[in-house]
């Protein structure tokens, strides 16, 4: 009887021990893999979403490989390196694996993220074993934009970012541009949270009184733990086209502040631009040394004004052989030098100066088909958005300008005087 009782007790303890072993998960089964979108509010299309993939494993890991599913409705980028550290979880020392990737949803709606698979080679006693751990699928709710603009507006640039900064630099003072020269303007846009290909294309600078030529641009993306940081650099060669000051108009770039959840604008500021001489003439004159000018200075100014008036009258009514303005002569020499060098920009600047000095020459150029066609080809080469590869023949165009300037009779036509005749209408010769 005693022997039977001992056997029964032994069997009961064995069953209890076996039941406890089944109830407690084994070390190889104590694994989990989760995928978590790190968002506070539903994102809009093309907005950065940080996706955290985290695995917690009790067995020792020899090798691991995370297999990412095909992200059909997302663009994505890896951020930095994976981390593997030892942590305490449920009273056991476990290994925690973490990877952060950036995803950008392509459209609004409920978008599904398929399971990730983590392939592990773990220690099982004296030998190794290969196991696979899969995450549960995740659904990301992407909001639809309401209002003007937005990701689906073809006429607006959609730029969702944490921050956008604009810097504006000039190679010189735009208020005092040396005569005949150009300045380089460089604008840099720095955006946090977007790759470089989401930054806008080079803006077009079109303002009355100035001409601009697009220069080289550059884009760069830097990967950080919180997402990409991108920079785009744009450049233009700019110069005034009139003798009067002009304004390079501002350019506004709308962007969506992902932190404040509202639209903002980054501004490329407006700048005044003028030739150095024009800027000096429009500025305030220096204060006089004394409130009452000396008598000799007054007399000298009167004599100078009298001589200047006589000179104007001589130029206006004198013989044609005495009438070649210095500005026109300088413009002609500059045009011929530019033609010899093949410098289209300098040629066009000299031609503009010649037209200002001799309005009759400008009128003849407009009436001469050959000269007009050459000037139009030159302007297309300099100012068109998609300029032709070849520069027009500047020597041939200079000859056409000279021919048009001589006029049908072969004689130079003196520009009309800016002063009205003092004794009535001048008789026609």
Q: How many CA atoms lie within 13 A of 84 on its CB side?
A: 11
Q: At 96, is the pLDDT very low, low, confident or very high (cuts 50, 70, 90)? A: very high
Helix-helix angle 326-341:394-406, to 10 degrees? 150
Which of 228, 426, 237, 243 has the alpha carbon at shortest distance from 345?
Answer: 237
State the pLDDT at residue 357. 80
Contact 271, 174 (CB under 8 A): yes
| Tens-digit pLDDT profile for residues 32-44 | 999 999 999 999 9
| Tens-digit pLDDT profile for residues 186-201 | 999 999 999 999 999 9
State the pLDDT at residue 378. 80
| Tens-digit pLDDT profile for residues 204-260 | 888 899 999 999 999 999 999 899 999 999 999 999 998 889 999 999 999 999 999
| Tens-digit pLDDT profile for residues 343-367 | 888 888 888 888 878 888 778 887 7
**DSSP letter for each residue of 38-62:** E-SSPPPTT--EEEEEEEEESS-EE
**What is the number of other CB atoms lying within 10 angstroms of the CB of residue 244?**
11
- Segment 51-74 shows an average pLDDT of 93
State the pLDDT at residue 238. 95
State the pLDDT at residue 335. 86
- Segment 291-303 shows an average pLDDT of 46
Helix-helix angle 369-383:344-357, to 10 degrees? 130
| Tens-digit pLDDT profile for residues 314-338 | 444 443 433 445 677 888 888 888 8
User: Which two structure tokens, joined as six digits, stand for 99?
Assistant: 């990877």
Q: How far apart are CA 141 and CA 108, in angstroms?
A: 8
| Tens-digit pLDDT profile for residues 67-94 | 999 999 999 998 988 999 999 988 889 9
State the pLDDT at residue 187. 96
Q: How far apart are CA 103 and CA 112, in angstroms?
A: 12
State the pLDDT at residue 306. 43
């Amino acid at each position: 009887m005693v022997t039977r009782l001992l056997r029964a007790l032994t069997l009961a303890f064995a069953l209890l021990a076996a039941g406890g072993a089944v109830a407690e998960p084994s070390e190889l089964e104590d694994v989990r893999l989760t995928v978590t979108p790190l968002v506070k509010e539903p994102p809009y299309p093309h907005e950065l979403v940080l996706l955290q993939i985290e695995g917690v494993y009790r067995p020792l890991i020899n090798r691991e490989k995370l297999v990412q599913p095909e992200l059909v409705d997302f663009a994505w980028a890896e951020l930095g390196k994976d981390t593997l550290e030892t942590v305490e979880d449920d009273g056991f020392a476990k290994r925690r694996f973490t990877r952060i990737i950036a995803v950008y949803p392509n459209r609004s709606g409920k978008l599904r993220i398929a399971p990730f698979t983590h392939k592990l080679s773990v220690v099982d006693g004296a030998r190794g074993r290969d196991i696979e751990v899969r995450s549960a699928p995740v659904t990301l709710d992407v909001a639809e934009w309401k209002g003007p603009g937005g990701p689906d507006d073809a006429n607006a640039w959609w730029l969702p970012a944490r921050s956008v900064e604009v810097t504006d630099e000039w190679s010189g003072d735009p208020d005092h541009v040396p005569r005949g020269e150009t300045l380089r303007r460089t604008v840099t846009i720095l955006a946090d949270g977007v790759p470089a290909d989401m930054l806008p294309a080079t803006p077009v600078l079109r303002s009355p009184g100035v001409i601009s030529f697009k220069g080289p641009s550059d884009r760069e993306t830097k990967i950080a733990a919180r997402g990409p940081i991108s920079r785009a650099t744009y450049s233009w060669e700019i110069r005034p086209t009139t003798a009067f000051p002009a304004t390079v108009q501002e350019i506004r770039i709308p962007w969506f502040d992902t932190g404040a959840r509202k639209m903002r604008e980054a501004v490329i500021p407006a700048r005044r631009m003028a030739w150095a001489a024009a800027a000096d003439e429009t500025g305030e004159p220096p204060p006089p040394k004394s409130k009452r000018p000396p008598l000799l200075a007054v007399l000298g100014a009167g004599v100078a004004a009298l001589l200047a008036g006589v000179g104007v009258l001589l130029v206006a009514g004198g013989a044609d052989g005495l009438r070649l303005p210095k500005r026109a002569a300088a413009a002609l020499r500059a045009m011929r030098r530019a033609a010899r060098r093949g410098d289209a920009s300098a040629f066009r600047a000299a031609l503009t100066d010649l037209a200002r000095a001799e309005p009759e020459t400008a009128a003849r150029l407009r009436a001469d088909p050959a000269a007009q066609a050459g000037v139009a080809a030159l302007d297309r080469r300099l100012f068109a958005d998609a300029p032709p590869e070849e520069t027009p023949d500047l020597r041939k165009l200079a000859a056409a300008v000279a021919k048009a300037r001589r006029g049908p009779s072969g004689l130079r036509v003196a520009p009309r005087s800016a002063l009205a005749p003092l004794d009535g209408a001048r008789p026609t010769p």
